Amino acid sequence: MKHFTVQEPLRIQQFILDEGIIPLHDHNYYELIGVQAGNGYHLINGNQVAYEPGDLFWLCPADYYGFIVQQKTRFCSLLFTPSYLAGLIAGSPYPWRHIQENTPSDSGKLLADPVASRKLMALIEIILAEHQEAQEITSNLVVDSLMQTILSLTDRQLAQQSLATTPRSSTSLALIQRIVSYVCQHITEPDSLRMDKMADVFNYSPGHLGALFKEHIGESIQQYIIRYKLKRVETRLSLSAMTISQIADEFGFADVCHLNKLFKRYYNDTPSNYRRYVLSS
């Protein structure tokens, strides 16, 4: 996995990406990404989240992420270092507690209401305009003031999302953890991952087991299995010399065509093209 760093305390950038994949990477900075146009998927910490215009993603140094761009996308991104954040905190009456937690996210998406999203996007665009006009945005009192407002709004959204998280019973969570562990353990054994087999293993009816899993995870067991398989395929493509046919056999795909079809659906590219892209990066 690549590691990205920034040297300057604060950076703002606007960029356009055509269809394709930005491989997973980690980083040493905080980042607020706004989607101005286009759609696709944001890959973060092993999860896949659809994005569309108006979406905002908050990323801390503990996250690793990438993108699958399906439709030409224009992003606007604020990047800043922990030391820059510490300097703003020192001069602010707000501790921004949720921002400072620096814990990996399931989606990174700020589930803000449309008004809050528009406010944040407008503030980012003002900093972009300031950068285009004055070039220098560090040690800039106007930009520092805008950044304090942005961080206050972001921290508020993170706090609201934390409060909105529905507590789930420890019994149900334990079951979900067991299912996920079982899937990971048997991911190369298609017969073990049939719904009727899993229902027997966990002593639930197939319908009840499937409903519980979808309630907690947000997708069906079979969707989760496919996505997890493709993540393992991605790893094989990036880090092994196995042929596409060998990879398809290992994970129980009917044939290479079946693997190609599913991989392209989720990654918008074929396995062979993805491997060439990763190895040439």
Return the closest-CA partner of residue 128 out of 114, 143, 144, 149. Answer: 143
Domain extents in the chain: 2-164, 170-280
CATH topology of domain 2-164: Jelly Rolls (2.60.120)
pLDDT tens string 141-161: 889 999 999 999 998 888 877
Fold: same for 2-164 and 170-280: no
SS (H, E, C) 234-273: HHHHHHCCCCHHHHHHHCCCCCHHHHHHHHHHHHCCCHHH
What is the Cα–Cα distance from 124 to 43, expressed in whole angstroms?
22
Output the average pLDDT for the chain. 86
Band of the pLDDT at 114, cuts 50, 70, 90?
A: confident
pLDDT tens string 9-23: 999 999 898 877 878
Identity at 257, one-letter amino acid code:
C
pLDDT tens string 159-189: 877 766 545 556 677 888 889 889 989 999 9
| Pure H helices in 135-255 | 141-164, 170-185, 195-202, 206-217, 221-239, 244-250
Name the token pair of 206: 């197939």
Q: What integer pLDDT is reported at residue 80 of this predicted model?
A: 93
State in words which class domain 170-280 has: mainly alpha
User: In this structure, are residues 34 and 124 in contact, taking their beta carbons and an 8 Å threshold?
Assistant: yes
